[in-house]
């Protein structure tokens, strides 16, 4: 359960949320990007250790020149003229589920409920594995006798948010880009290597005329193929990681919340590596068979 109310920080009225830091992670996912300088787990642990602790926004820290451990006296909307309720500043929060984008506060629900007599509204977050709309209907039926209770599922909230925003589904664009990568690998490994080796047919023909066997030719071809495959693969992996890392850093403000780390499509990468190895092997084998099938003397006379 999460409580919501309004508190004055100086003359600034802000939303305040009361949570149980021990169980909030069971109802919603908390990203490390929600908090400054610390992970989500470390920040919530500090809130557990400090019952009167409060998390504030970057803007509030800057405006009031706060340092961790400072005491904040918060006055609540329904009791503005009363003496402020003391809280202890323990961390910085940037985003939080259901919270606004501007300044807000997060505190322990038990301490908040014990200090504030009225003006708090409770929200129950439910995590489910089934259809959210069906779960919402079942919950609505259960709490229908309670006056003023309202149930919303995540799909409804997403539609309300999307109705005022320009949204784009990136899955199709991602699929197109990954498909292009497969085609590029086919051209860069199989075709490029085959053409590179084919240009040196005359060199291989000279080796054959000097008495080189199939294993000798195969050793020359595979050494070059592995050099191209391994070297190109390592350089490609490094450049791909560098470009992805730079894009995530540059576009961090576009995502809500920004990603904590790069997502690696391991199954796709394994398939890509397997395709590169298979195409390289196919290119070497086709050229090797072509050399052994054709006459070395003819290759020498052709001047290839």
pTM tops 0.75? no
In a shared domain, residues 176 and 163: no
In a shared domain, residues 181 and 205: yes
* Average pLDDT of the residues in 269-278: 84
In a shared domain, residues 233 and 297: yes
In a shared domain, residues 31 and 144: no
In a shared domain, residues 150 and 249: no
Cα 75-80-84 angle, rounded to 5 deg: 30
Instruction: Note the pLDDT tens digit of each residue in 72-98.
Output: 888 886 654 556 889 999 999 988 877
Q: What is the predicted pLDDT for the residue at 304?
A: 46
The domain in which residue 148 lies consists of 130-167
* pLDDT above 80 (res 63): yes
In a shared domain, residues 291 and 180: yes
Instruction: Note the pLDDT tens digit of each residue in 110-168.
Output: 898 888 876 677 777 777 777 777 777 887 787 777 776 777 777 776 665 555 555 56
In a shared domain, residues 298 and 175: yes
* Average pLDDT of the residues in 261-273: 82
In a shared domain, residues 114 and 7: yes
Tokens of 144: 């229908």
Number of domains, the chain: 3
More confident site: 169 or 9 = 9
In a shared domain, residues 121 and 158: no
In a shared domain, residues 270 and 231: yes
In a shared domain, residues 156 and 180: no
Q: What gap in Å lies between CA 127 and CA 125, rounded to an integer?
A: 7
> What length does the chain have?
304
In a shared domain, residues 10 and 111: yes
Instruction: Note the pLDDT tens digit of each residue in 113-127.
Output: 888 876 677 777 777
């Amino acid at each position: 359960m999460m409580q919501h109310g309004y508190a004055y920080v100086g003359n600034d009225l802000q939303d305040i949320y009361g949570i149980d830091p021990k169980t909030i992670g069971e109802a919603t996912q908390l990203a490390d990007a929600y908090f400054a300088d610390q992970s989500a787990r470390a920040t919530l642990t500090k809130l557990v250790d400090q019952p009167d602790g409060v998390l504030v926004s970057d803007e509030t820290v800057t405006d009031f020149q706060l340092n961790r451990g400072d005491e904040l006296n918060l006055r609540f909307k329904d009791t503005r003229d009363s003496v402020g309720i003391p809280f202890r500043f323990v961390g910085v929060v940037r985003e939080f589920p259901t919270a606004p984008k501007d300044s807000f506060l997060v505190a322990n629900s038990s301490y908040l409920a014990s200090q504030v007599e009225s003006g708090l509204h409770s929200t129950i977050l439910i995590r489910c594995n089934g259809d959210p709309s069906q779960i919402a209907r079942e919950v609505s039926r259960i709490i229908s006798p309670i006056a003023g209770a309202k149930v919303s599922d995540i799909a409804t909230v997403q539609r309300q948010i999307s109705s005022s925003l320009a949204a784009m589904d990136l899955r199709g664009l991602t699929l197109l880009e990954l498909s292009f990568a497969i085609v590029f690998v086919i051209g860069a490994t199989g075709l490029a290597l085959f053409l590179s080796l084919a240009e040196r047919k005359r060199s291989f023909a000279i080796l054959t005329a000097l008495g080189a066997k199939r294993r000798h030719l195969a050793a020359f071809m595979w050494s070059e193929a592995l050099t191209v495959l391994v070297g190109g693969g390592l350089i490609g992996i490094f450049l791909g990681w560098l470009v992805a890392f730079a894009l995530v850093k540059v576009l961090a403000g576009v995502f809500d919340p920004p990603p904590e780390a790069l997502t690696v499509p391991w199954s796709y990468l394994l398939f890509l590596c397997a395709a590169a190895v298979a195409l390289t092997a196919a290119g070497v084998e086709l050229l090797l068979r072509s050399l052994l099938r054709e006459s070395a003397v003819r290759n020498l006379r052709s001047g290839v």
